[in-house]
Amino acid sequence: MDRDSNKTLLLELQRAAGTGNSRCADCGMPDPEWASYKLGIFICLNCSGIHRNLPQISKVKSLRLDFWENDVIEFMKKHGNLCAKAKYEAKVPPYYYIPQFCDCLVLKEQWIRAKYEREEFVATRVCQDPCSAGSREGFLWKRGRENRHFRKRRFLLSAREGVMKYYTKEFGGPKAIISIENLNAMFQTDKIQHAHGLQITYNTDGQRRNLFVYHESGKEIVDWFNAIRAARYHYLRTTFPNVPEPELIPRITRNYAKEGYMEKTGPKQKEPFKVRWFCLDSQERNLMYFKKPLDAFAQGQVLIGTMDEGYEVRAGVPQGVRVKKKPAITVVTPVREFVFICENEREQREWIDALNGVIAQP
């Protein structure tokens, strides 16, 4: 069979219904144009780069650019993404975070290594109890609230006790005791400017507190993230035993619906506009704003209710308000109107869409 015929056959195989090949086997990216011909799976360009670093496990080729031997194509026909999923994802715990194509590199890399290199989820493995999986102790580099330097701190997570603690001194009590009930964790590699950066948030004294941490090891920081998820899953499963699992899983941890800089003015809408970092938490229905992205506490927040309660987001500003020649949005609440200036029209559209998404939630 000639080169062009082989390419056509591979592309047909990638698009074949009932094979799972039309999306990347590891991150779900549509229309993958690479494959691991050792594992028999179709993968995207980004995941193929990770597979290249596992030469003992995986070998990759481009569907369009590389030459494919007939016997290798036959191997791909007999395998495929659903076949690999049945083998390598047989026992993925419900709390384990399965990354998507929009997620950071460390999550995707450790997911791929966990599946194919360490074979953590094959059928012969014993599933770990969420309570024991949600218990962990070790050191993370934590950013100081005042001096803003990262220092090594000991962290202890206990699903059984329902808490996470961290210590600033070798001896003595914990600096903070964090309830798993309102604990959240999300990867923030760009914001923290570290490939393994993790943001941990929790409630303390009526405020939302941010901790920014990382670990030199990608495996270690992803293990911490999934341990937090296991502890949260154990808490939710115990507290809400009758809630169906598909409803619990999205509430284990969450990312912000949208983050970025906007300018805001005061309640009279005559005060000077000031640049602030905004985070929209769709689950808590809060639009929080910070002086800087890595601040421990928000300067303020706007509750986002439903349309029936009088909440609305509009492009532009209220009549009589003068702003720079930049795109703006107005968030209407029963109490007042909040005016924000966006960096550009794309940001304006994204903020409007994200806020409307929250307003539309019951």
Q: What CATH number has the domain bearing residue 89?
A: 1.10.220.150
pLDDT tens for residues 269-289? 788 899 999 999 999 999 999
Quick one: average pLDDT of 317-325?
A: 77
Contacts 24+ apart (CB under 8 A), 259-266: 259/191, 259/293, 260/343, 260/347, 260/350, 260/351, 261/343, 262/289, 262/340, 262/341, 262/342, 262/343, 262/347, 262/351, 263/340, 263/341, 264/289, 264/338, 264/339, 264/340, 264/341, 265/339
pLDDT tens for residues 231-277? 999 999 999 999 999 999 999 999 999 999 999 988 877 888 999 99
Number of domains making up the chain? 3
Helix 105-112, helix 45-52: angle, nearest 10: 60
Query: Against a cut of 0.85, is the pTM above it?
Result: yes
Structural domain includes residue 123: no
Residue partners of 342: CB distance under 8 A and separation at least 6? 262, 326, 327, 328, 329, 348, 351
Instruction: Give the whole-angstrom CA distance, residue 357 versus residue 347.
Output: 15
Residue partners of 36: CB distance under 8 A and separation at least 6? 43, 48, 51, 58, 59, 60
Q: Which domain holds residue 91?
A: 2-117
Model confidence at 1: pLDDT above 60: no
Query: 320 pLDDT band (50/70/90 cuts)?
Result: confident
Instruction: Give the whole-angstrom CA distance, residue 284 versus residue 84.
Output: 37
With beta carbons less than 8 A apart as the criterion, state whether 219 and 110 touch.
yes
171 in the same domain as 84 = no
Quick one: average pLDDT of 117-132?
A: 92
Q: Could you say which of 217, 251, 285 is where a domain stops?
A: 251
Q: Could you say which of 251, 282, 308 is where a domain stops?
A: 251
Phi-psi region of 28 (alpha: psi -120 to 50; beta: other; left: phi over 0): left
Residue partners of 5: CB distance under 8 A and separation at least 6? none
Least confident of 28-32, 88-92, 116-120, 171-175: 171-175
Quick one: average pLDDT of 17-44?
A: 95
Structural domain includes residue 37: yes
Structural domain includes residue 122: no
Query: 3 pLDDT band (50/70/90 cuts)?
Result: low
Instruction: Give the whole-angstrom CA distance, residue 42 versus residue 23.
Output: 7
E strand or H helix that includes residue 214: strand 207-214
Query: 6 pLDDT band (50/70/90 cuts)?
Result: confident
Domain containing residue 212: CATH number: 2.30.29.30
151 in the same domain as 222 = yes
Q: Could you say which of 251, 284, 302 is where a domain stops?
A: 251
Q: Cα–Cα–Cα angle for 122, 89, 43, nearest 5°?
A: 125
Quick one: average pLDDT of 212-228?
A: 98
User: What pLDDT score does 2 carry?
Assistant: 59
Model confidence at 83: pLDDT above 70: yes
User: What pLDDT score does 288 carry?
Assistant: 97
70 in the same domain as 166 = no
**Is the Cα torsion angle 284, 287, 289, 292 positive or negative in sign?**
positive
Q: What strands lie across the sheet with 60-62, from one edge to the other?
A: 41-43, 34-36, 60-62
247 in the same domain as 134 = yes
* Average predicted confidence (pLDDT) for the chain: 94
Structural domain includes residue 316: yes
334 in the same domain as 308 = yes
The percent helix, strand, coil of the chain (3-state, each to 5) is 30, 25, 45
Instruction: Give the whole-angstrom CA distance, residue 49 versus residue 355.
Output: 35
